[in-house]
Structure 1
């Protein structure tokens, strides 16, 4: 499962569920986006975020990423690990399959920063 984030001008970014789910949890836990918006962003339907929301996300990630160690990953529960992802599928604990990597969060932050007119998640 994956999502496409696209600005009105056609700039796009793709993300898989393994990175997207912990990203959404992070944005909800931090209060950057409300629970209802987060719920809509978790479905594969078109949902629009405003330019103001995009800028809030970018500003939050600027601050947040400054404290994440190189090689770190944000897990579904919000904790950070520097253990490398083995890409093993954990059937016994599905939450262990999800992590938002620093490279992904950096790309997402940069995308949000340039999305001054907002973007659609679909």
Structure 2
């Protein structure tokens, strides 16, 4: 499952569920997105975010990423690790399959900075 984030001018960014879900959890736990919005963004249906919300996400990620090592990953529970992702499918604990890399979070932050009129996640 994947999502496409797209601005009205056609700029787009694709993300898979393995990266998207921990990103949403991070934004919700930080209070950047409310529970309902984060939950709706987790479904594969069109959801609009405003320019203000995109700005809030970018601003939060600017600060958050400043202290996150380049090789770090944010896990579904909000913890971070610098252990590389082996891409192994963890059947015993499915949450271990989800992580948002520093590189992904930077791409998402940069996308949000350019989303001057908001974006749609679908």
TM range (shorter): over 0.9
Q: Give the aligned partner of residue 99 of structure 1.
A: 99
User: Aligned pair count?
Assistant: 122
Separation (CA, whole Å) in 1 of partners of 2:4 and 2:15: 7
Separation (CA, whole Å) in 2 of partners of 1:85 and 1:43: 25
- Runs (4+) of structure 1 moved beyond 4 Å? none
- Structure 1 gap segments, 5+ residues each: none
Q: Give the aligned partner of residue 17 of structure 1.
A: 17
Q: Give the aligned partner of residue 117 of structure 2.
A: 117
Separation (CA, whole Å) in 1 of partners of 2:40 and 2:32: 15
User: TM-score normalized by structure 2?
Assistant: 0.99
Separation (CA, whole Å) in 1 of partners of 2:57 and 2:97: 24
Determine if contact 2:70/2:103 at 8 Å carries over to the other structure. Answer: no
2:78 is paired with a residue whose SS is coil
Q: Give the aligned partner of residue 88 of structure 2.
A: 88
Q: Give the aligned partner of residue 8 of structure 2.
A: 8
RMSD of Structure 2 on Structure 1 (CA): 0.4
Shift of 1:70: 1.9
User: TM-score normalized by structure 1?
Assistant: 0.99
Shift of 1:83: 0.3
1:88 is paired with a residue whose SS is coil
1:56 is paired with a residue whose SS is helix
Determine if contact 2:7/2:120 at 8 Å carries over to the other structure. Answer: yes
CA deviations over 1:4-41 (Å, ceiling 9, x no partner) = 00000000000000000000000000000100000110
- Structure 2 gap segments, 5+ residues each: none
Q: Give the aligned partner of residue 79 of structure 1.
A: 79
